[in-house]
């Protein structure tokens, strides 16, 4: 009968996929990670800290171009 065989096949595939995911996660956990800040975002934070609103439009347009984000001013400024 194909019914029970299909059920166990699906369960076996789920177990294999989960086992492979666990192996990948364990490999990633033991690697050192270095997170580098985006220089444009660092400039944005400095401008916000200074309160330099004249620099905002230029920085926002650079952020939009660099990261492919449309209308970043609605998210970060207004």
Q: Tell me the per-residue pLDDT of 14-37, one tens digit each, with 9 for 90 and over.
A: 999 999 999 999 998 988 888 888
Query: Does 77 score more than 80 pLDDT?
Result: no
Q: Tell me the per-residue pLDDT of 48-70, one tens digit each, with 9 for 90 and over.
A: 999 888 888 888 888 888 888 77
| CA dist list (Å): 47 to 15, 37, 62, 67 | 51, 16, 14, 19
- What is the model's pLDDT at position 2? 66
Sequence-distant (6+) residues with CB within 8 A of 58 are none
- What is the model's pLDDT at position 76? 65
- What is the model's pLDDT at position 73? 65
Q: Tokens for 12, please give them.
A: 């076996």
């Amino acid at each position: 009968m194909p019914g029970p065989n299909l059920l166990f096949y699906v369960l076996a595939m789920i177990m294999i996929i989960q086992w492979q995911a666990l192996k990948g996660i364990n490999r990633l956990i033991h690697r050192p990670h270095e997170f580098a800040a985006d220089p444009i975002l660092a400039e944005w934070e400095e401008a916000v800290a200074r309160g330099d609103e004249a620099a905002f439009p230029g920085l926002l347009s650079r952020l939009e171009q660099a990261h492919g984000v449309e209308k970043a001013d609605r998210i970060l400024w207004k």
